[in-house]
Amino acid sequence: MTDAFQATDEFAAQFDSLLAWRRDVRRFKTEPLAPGLLEELIDRACLAPSVGNAQPWRFVSVENPDLRHVVAESFEIENAAAAKLYKDEQARLYSELKLAGLKEAPVHLAVFSDTDTLLGRGLGRQTMPETLVYSTVCAIHTLWLAARTRGVGVGWVSILDPKVITRTLNVPANWQFVGYLCLGYPIENHDDPELVRPGWQERIDRSKVLLRR
Ligand SMILES: Cc1cc2nc3c(=O)[nH]c(=O)nc-3n(C[C@H](O)[C@H](O)[C@H](O)COP(=O)(O)O)c2cc1C
């Protein structure tokens, strides 16, 4: 056993700053990630909590330009369909939002959850099988924070057809698509979300999210 982790006040302040500056990034430099950095981030993501210690997260580094093209195409189709759901001022605002950095990001990472994994022997997920996907989301968030500590931005793209992604990447049938991540060095840094700045959606405060019973 190694020494227990003890956060200093300075570390706690830096961690708070990491949370405040994490951001979903859509504007990337095309510069590749430093060698070995993607693997380092995956290793950190694998430290995430998971139901029954099932570690259901599965990552696909999408490197083939033809496959990336299919993903970008799926985004264009689904984004155009989503845009039609809005009217008037909201439609104008939506059309101006940048909702993915698929063309610029040097790294594309598709994240899946193994819905059939034997790891964990079913512990903790009998009544809530969806906890496997929750575990995978924990891994994504862990990667997101680890990336930011290394100056790497992450953008989560969900405006995609999961069937297209699953088919295109030819993954095992029991892998459920969870999210598509763009990674790269950001061209700008912000402490407020991209969707707050143009007035799409403000942040809410604690009074709206905490009930006491
Ligand atoms: C499950 C999930 C799906 C998301 N999908 C998209 C997406 O398709 N496009 C996008 O631009 N941002 C996407 N985001 C990022 C959110 O827009 C962003 O987290 C939110 O606006 C708050 O901004 P922040 O992450 O910078 O704090 C997604 C985030 C999550 C957690």
Ligand 1 atom showing the smallest separation from residue 201 Cα:
21
**Other CB atoms within 10 Å distance of the CB of residue 24:** 18
With beta carbons less than 8 A apart as the criterion, state whether 183 and 190 touch: no
3 falls in which pLDDT band (50, 70, 90)? Answer: confident
Question: What integer pLDDT is reported at residue 176 of this predicted model?
Answer: 98
Residue 181 CA to residue 64 CA, distance in Å, equals: 15
Ligand 1 atom showing the smallest separation from residue 193 Cα:
26
Residue with the nearest Cα to atom 23 of ligand 1? 193
Residue 64 CA to residue 69 CA, distance in Å, equals: 9
Question: What integer pLDDT is reported at residue 172 of this predicted model?
Answer: 97
- Percent of the chain scored above 90 by pLDDT? 98
177 falls in which pLDDT band (50, 70, 90)? Answer: very high
**Global confidence as pTM:** 0.97
Question: What integer pLDDT is reported at residue 1 of this predicted model?
Answer: 64
- Mean pLDDT in residue range 204-208: 97
175 falls in which pLDDT band (50, 70, 90)? Answer: very high
Q: Tell me the CATH class for 24-208.
A: alpha beta
**Other CB atoms within 10 Å distance of the CB of residue 103:** 12
pLDDT (tens digit per residue) in 82-138: 999 999 999 999 999 999 999 999 999 999 999 999 999 999 999 999 999 999 999
- Mean pLDDT in residue range 56-63: 98
Pocket of ligand 1 (CB under 6 A): 23-24, 26, 99-100, 156-159, 179, 193-195
Cα 101 to averaged position of ligand 1 atoms, centre (Å): 12
Q: Residue 189: is its pLDDT beyond 90? A: yes
Residue with the nearest Cα to atom 3 of ligand 1? 158
